[in-house]
Structure 1
Amino acid sequence: MSFFDKDKINSIQKYSYVFLWSQLFPILIYIINGYKNIGNIEVVKNLKAGIRICIIMYLFFILLSFISPKKIYKFVMTSLIIINVTANIFDLFAYINFGTQINSDIFYTMLETNINESKEFLLNYFNMKFLIIIAYLIYILFIAKIKYKLISFIVGILSVIIIVFSFNLEGNDYTRKYVLATLKSSYVKYQNDAKEYKETLKELKNFNLKDQLTDLNKEESIYVMIIGESGSKYHSSLYGYFRETNPNLKKLKEKNELFVFDDVISPHGTTRESLQKVLTLKDSKNNYKFYESPSILDLFKEAGFKTYWISNQESYGSIGNVVAALASKADYIEYTEISALDSRKFKKYDEALLPIFDKILKEKNDRKFIVIHLMGNHIQYKERVPEKFKKFTDMNNNFNEWQKNKIKAVNDYDNSILYVDYIVSEVISKIKKENKKSYVLYFSDHGEEIYDSKDFMGHGQNGINKYIVEIPFMLWISDNYKKDINKISQVSKSLDNKYITEDLPYTLIDLSYIQWENFIPEKSIVNIDFKEKERYHNNIKYDKQ
């Protein structure tokens, strides 16, 4: 009978061994690397789970191959191996770059942002660690050719050990799930989140707050909030970085025009999660959904301001994003990029926002609140900077070994900081010419690790990393505003306050002379009654007691 055909049995044995190792190879990387990073915690459980998954899928593969007709069984086996290898490549890619196996956040990054940013995201992580994936593919091809299983087994184990101890991989844990199950559950979670977002657009409330808010200022005023992207205070000369990355803002500080706050953190290490709290009354303690509480735009609009949102980030991704939903509350919205399917290779530079800003300033309106959302220091740093701002090209002994080895990326990032310095100073210069009661507040949504403390570049990692947690936060105030001596004096006394940007609405209300019956003075960093509180980043307490 063909069911017991000798050639078929031999083929199944050969293919099933390849299938087994296509799963076992990455599992061993996760388990052994976790052991290297955190010791023997959970190693036995991880090994048991990994072996159990491999055996179950191995037996499933053999069974499916046996019951497949002779004419197509090789096609079935080859297809199963290709699917398994492809899934594991995605999983390995996530693990070696982000210290975690594939999850819904990876799908979010790839599918909710636009096509070009997704490409940039992927290109940025085609680095030396990608050799691990190449080694994985080479090994799969190797065992498909070699006859001696003992040799292939020894080579497999040695390869995994060499990989783990040759690369500084951040991962500590193993999901204990079959890779396709992990992919499915992660995608389902992403879809559920996306569905929730669509519902969010429907749920966004229009708050009637006019009776609660009063603008106490009787002068013409223009208030500007600039939201940076992935800006590191540790690469800013205003905060002591050895390179002069803030020459323009430094001059303003020396003239006592710029107030630089020293101890401000972000609530999360990703834009979406961070700005949900920064732009609304949602915080680490309450249970609000971000659309259930008023946003900064709601507060200013109801206080009688015309509100503006101009952005060099996407207006929506393939599904959309939370920030765009919040931005939709503004009276006037303009994006430099109209569509998620924009065919430009890379995004426009942030200076594309300046003509839009000029147009807004020319509008006849006594009260303006303007939000400028920069692309800032977003990953693929070199693409954020025009050629004339690519000043840093050298090596410096102040760098650690990781930074010296990745000097091109560090230089690109520092040049992006220099360029943001230019953009912020240009906005300030334009506001200064208006000669009105004004301020310009700049801060970043979160920080960025640039090989400062580990062999990693980026953000969004779980846990606590001061380079991602702590952010630049600075305030420029116009000459007309400075006439309020008491207010300026209080701002000057506030620069060392420990603050988290989830309380930003209260600071903005305070700075803008808006009286609000629900105002909490201890949440405004510039208020005389400000009180420091426990700060949480990624829902983990940050400040040491």
Structure 2
Amino acid sequence: MHIRNLLYHFLFFFYFSAVYQALCFTFNVSGFVGLRESFFLSFLWFIPLLLLPSYHKIITGVIGLLLWSTSLASLGYFMMYGQEFSQSVLFIIFESNMKESSEFLHTYFAWWMVPALLFYTSMSLFLWKKLEPIKLKMAYKPFAIVFALLLVTKTFTSLYFIDNKGFEKAYDKQLSRMQAAAPWNLIVGYQKYTLQLQQMQSLLKNNQNLPKLTHFTTQYNQPNTMVLVIGESTNRNRMSLYGYKRETSPHLKKMKDELLVFDNVFSPRPYTIEVLQQALTFADEKNPDWYLDKPNLMNIMKQAGYETYWITNQQTQTKRNTMLTTFSQMADHQVYLNNNRRQNSSSYDEVVFEPFKEVLSHNEIKKKFIVVHLLGAHSRYDYRYPETFSQFNNEPVQRVLDAKQQAYYNYYDNAILYNDYVVSTLINEVKKQKRASSLLYFSDHGEEVYDDMSKIKMGRNEADPTLAMYTVPFIVYGNASWKAMHSYEHMNIYTHRLYSSSNLLYSYCDLAGIRFDGFEQKKSIFNTAYETQPVFIGDPMKKATLRDLREKPLG
């Protein structure tokens, strides 16, 4: 009876992580490590029961409630998306607001999840009712507690005391392993999130004191305007400009002969923050932290004498220094157009037009660098465009898709259609400028919206990459005055180059005629000395996950 009681306790504690980890293992989403680590971490919850046996029912109830509530995130994510609840997912959750969360649930929710979660909950209640106080002699309790602690901290103990790896490495590894189990999946993830947020806030403070780049020269000192448009969640293969069967980019197609349309550019990550940390800085897969203590594109353009602007329709929840708004805070001027706590359908990307035209009209400013950050095709797709752009709703898609999936497929194409209108309008405003003016448009990452019919998935997940998540548009426009300054026609031969947007900084500096110590011509897609670089996707903090698309392409 005593052994049975101990077993029931262990099953109760283990249950809340084991269900999720067993599903991941069964469906080949992850290996056996998560299940194994959850097993050992479950022994932790015996300690308060041994210390306070008279409060047994209350303690197990509180622990059970904690484990149940924190396990729902990973289990629910698996049920909705069929993938592992990764660190990157946690970052997205902590950067989202309630409206975005409700949009996510509306997108992925299925009726069968309710009875599944009710069954999951009822099983935990069944186990809890079976629990009785653990009866252990006082003399044995210290040994049992030490034994439980050793099992829980076995990773740290092994690395620190046996392998002499150092406290920091052992501690980090211990935390990493603990994320396999509830509630550490959220607690450790939130700790890492707040640490990165602190680093970004520190970056803002330290950025002003960074030393300037040495041997710095700029080729173009006459009045000119450079525009960088950052799109959102736009897969170039869903744009008719790139050959998509539906007419989703009619405006850009009409002006195609005036554009440099690069058709082999890939994003390094499927997440906005992580992409910008590489694209706008010197950071890359080998040095992922260089965005913290080295100059970035905004610093470089300032050093080149540009007045800098950041116009954004990304939801910012006022001007708080989130990771998303850190780079915007480095500009001389910011225009925040989506400050509501609700990221709702009323904030279409056309709201950037008026402030953009206003900045362009400031001819008294000799050199201007303008960043426009769009909402693009961010989920939910049907919130990204006005009704007048709802053109594909009744068009059939693939027969394997159900009605809801076909609807989202069509919503996404409508969002791409509207994005075409927005980007082409910005280009037309640049075209009107008498001074030399250029615009480079790229998307932070792509989006899987039932493009890969072998997987039938929607969204982004670095643990299960698809081609649609990483294929991004990359387009350059220059007006007549700008073309006179550049070998524009010569650049047309470069449009098929394989390229990662992680090297955007070098290309943009090349476009601006900027040189400095450390500038690498071979990393600029516009340079005659360009050399095809590794096109890595994956988390640079986990080297084993990196995948070079030159050697192992997607799709």
| Bin of the TM-score, shorter chain as denominator length | 0.7 to 0.9
Which residue of 1 is the match for residue 547 of structure 2? 541
Match of 1:67 among 47, 51, 54: 54
What is the DSSP-based 3-state SS (H/G/I as helix, E as strand, rest coil) of the residue aligned with 1:226?
strand
Which residue of 1 is the match for residue 231 of structure 2? 228
Are 2:83 and 1:96 equivalent residues in the alignment?
Answer: no
Instruction: Indicate how the Cα distance of structure 1 residues 277 and 305 shifts in structure 2: closer, same or farther if over 3 A, else same.
Output: same
Aligned 8 A contact 2:314 2:374 in 1: yes
Instruction: Indicate how the Cα distance of structure 1 residues 264 and 67 shifts in structure 2: closer, same or farther if over 3 A, else same.
Output: same
Residue identity matched to 1:204: N
Deviations 1:305-352 (A, max 9, x none): 2111100113468963334222222121111034xx635745611111
Are 2:119 and 1:138 equivalent residues in the alignment?
Answer: yes
Question: What 5-or-longer segments of structure 1 have no aligned partner?
Answer: 150-172
Deviations 1:479-502 (A, max 9, x none): 223335x71122101001111112
Which runs of structure 2 are paired with 1:228-377 in the superposition (5 Å)?
A: 228-253=231-256, 256-286=257-287, 288-315=289-316, 320-338=321-339, 342=341, 345-346=344-345, 348-364=347-363, 365-377=365-377
Which runs of structure 2 are paired with 1:476-487 in the superposition (5 Å)?
A: 476-484=477-485, 487=487
Larger mean CA deviation between 195-204 and 23-32 belongs to 23-32
Which residue of 2 is the match for residue 153 of structure 1? none
Instruction: Indicate how the Cα distance of structure 1 residues 487 and 323 shifts in structure 2: closer, same or farther if over 3 A, else same.
Output: farther
Deviations 1:110-158 (A, max 9, x none): 3334454344344444x22x73364132353378579x99xxxxxxxxx
Residue identity matched to 1:418: L
Provide the rounded CA distance (Å) in 1 between the counterparts of 2:515 and 2:44. Answer: 64
What is the DSSP-based 3-state SS (H/G/I as helix, E as strand, rest coil) of the residue aligned with 1:443?
strand
How far the C-alpha of 1:249 sits from its partner, in A, is 0.2
Instruction: Indicate how the Cα distance of structure 1 residues 370 and 18 shifts in structure 2: closer, same or farther if over 3 A, else same.
Output: same
Which runs of structure 2 are paired with 1:94-243 in the superposition (5 Å)?
A: 94-97=77-80, 102=85, 104-125=87-108, 127-128=109-110, 131-132=112-113, 134-141=115-122, 177-207=180-210, 209=212, 212-217=215-220, 219-243=222-246
Which residue of 1 is the match for residue 493 of structure 2? 493
Deviations 1:408-442 (A, max 9, x none): 11111111111110000111111111233222111
Provide the rounded CA distance (Å) in 2 between the counterparts of 1:119 and 1:461. Answer: 22
Match of 2:64 among 76, 81, 87: 81
What is the DSSP-based 3-state SS (H/G/I as helix, E as strand, rest coil) of the residue aligned with 1:481?
helix
Provide the rounded CA distance (Å) in 2 between the counterparts of 1:321 and 1:502. Answer: 21
Aligned 8 A contact 2:207 2:295 in 1: no
Provide the rounded CA distance (Å) in 1 between the counterparts of 2:261 and 2:394. Answer: 28
Report the TM-score when normalising by structure 1.
0.80
Instruction: Indicate how the Cα distance of structure 1 residues 53 and 520 shifts in structure 2: closer, same or farther if over 3 A, else same.
Output: closer
Provide the rounded CA distance (Å) in 1 between the counterparts of 2:35 and 2:304. Answer: 60
What is the DSSP-based 3-state SS (H/G/I as helix, E as strand, rest coil) of the residue aligned with 1:304?
coil
Which residue of 2 is the match for residue 421 of structure 1? 420
Provide the rounded CA distance (Å) in 2 between the counterparts of 1:284 and 1:47. Answer: 29
Larger mean CA deviation between 500-509 and 80-89 belongs to 80-89
Aligned 8 A contact 2:235 2:447 in 1: yes
Provide the rounded CA distance (Å) in 2 between the counterparts of 1:362 and 1:520. Answer: 34
Residue identity matched to 2:478: I
Provide the rounded CA distance (Å) in 1 between the counterparts of 2:359 and 2:319. Answer: 29
Paired residue total = 496
Are 2:382 and 1:382 equivalent residues in the alignment?
Answer: yes
Provide the rounded CA distance (Å) in 2 between the counterparts of 1:266 and 1:145. Answer: 48
How far the C-alpha of 1:215 sits from its partner, in A, is 3.6
Residue identity matched to 1:302: Q
How far the C-alpha of 1:353 sits from its partner, in A, is 0.7
Aligned 8 A contact 2:179 2:185 in 1: no
Aligned 8 A contact 1:395 1:404 in 2: no
Instruction: Indicate how the Cα distance of structure 1 residues 31 and 16 shifts in structure 2: closer, same or farther if over 3 A, else same.
Output: closer
Are 2:26 and 1:35 equivalent residues in the alignment?
Answer: yes
Instruction: Indicate how the Cα distance of structure 1 residues 145 and 49 shifts in structure 2: closer, same or farther if over 3 A, else same.
Output: closer
Provide the rounded CA distance (Å) in 2 between the counterparts of 1:210 and 1:318. Answer: 29
Residue identity matched to 1:393: N
What is the DSSP-based 3-state SS (H/G/I as helix, E as strand, rest coil) of the residue aligned with 1:375?
coil
Aligned 8 A contact 1:281 1:295 in 2: yes
Aligned 8 A contact 2:216 2:517 in 1: yes
Instruction: Indicate how the Cα distance of structure 1 residues 482 and 119 shifts in structure 2: closer, same or farther if over 3 A, else same.
Output: same
Which runs of structure 2 are paired with 1:2-21 in the superposition (5 Å)?
A: 20=11
Residue identity matched to 1:466: L
Provide the rounded CA distance (Å) in 1 between the counterparts of 2:525 and 2:246. Answer: 29
How far the C-alpha of 1:53 sits from its partner, in A, is 5.6
Instruction: Indicate how the Cα distance of structure 1 residues 95 and 317 shifts in structure 2: closer, same or farther if over 3 A, else same.
Output: farther
Aligned-pair identity (%): 28
How far the C-alpha of 1:176 sits from its partner, in A, is 8.1
Which residue of 1 is the match for residue 145 of structure 2? none
Aligned 8 A contact 2:83 2:463 in 1: no
What is the DSSP-based 3-state SS (H/G/I as helix, E as strand, rest coil) of the residue aligned with 2:284?
coil
Aligned 8 A contact 2:204 2:329 in 1: no
How far the C-alpha of 1:469 sits from its partner, in A, is 1.8
Residue identity matched to 2:188: S
Larger mean CA deviation between 175-184 and 232-241 belongs to 175-184
Aligned 8 A contact 1:403 1:452 in 2: no
Instruction: Indicate how the Cα distance of structure 1 residues 514 and 63 shifts in structure 2: closer, same or farther if over 3 A, else same.
Output: closer
Residue identity matched to 2:533: K
Provide the rounded CA distance (Å) in 2 between the counterparts of 1:211 and 1:77. Answer: 62
Which residue of 1 is the match for residue 142 of structure 2? none
How far the C-alpha of 1:268 sits from its partner, in A, is 1.4
How far the C-alpha of 1:60 sits from its partner, in A, is 6.6
Aligned 8 A contact 1:498 1:532 in 2: yes
Which residue of 1 is the match for residue 170 of structure 2? none
Provide the rounded CA distance (Å) in 1 between the counterparts of 2:342 and 2:270. Answer: 29
Aligned 8 A contact 2:265 2:500 in 1: yes
Which residue of 1 is the match for residue 159 of structure 2? none
What is the DSSP-based 3-state SS (H/G/I as helix, E as strand, rest coil) of the residue aligned with 2:372?
strand
Question: What 5-or-longer segments of structure 2 have no aligned partner?
Answer: 131-175, 541-545
How far the C-alpha of 1:293 sits from its partner, in A, is 1.8
Larger mean CA deviation between 114-123 and 363-372 belongs to 114-123
What is the DSSP-based 3-state SS (H/G/I as helix, E as strand, rest coil) of the residue aligned with 2:27?
helix
Query: How big is the alpha-carbon RMSD for the aligned residues of Structure 1 and Structure 2?
Result: 3.6
Instruction: Indicate how the Cα distance of structure 1 residues 320 and 402 shifts in structure 2: closer, same or farther if over 3 A, else same.
Output: farther
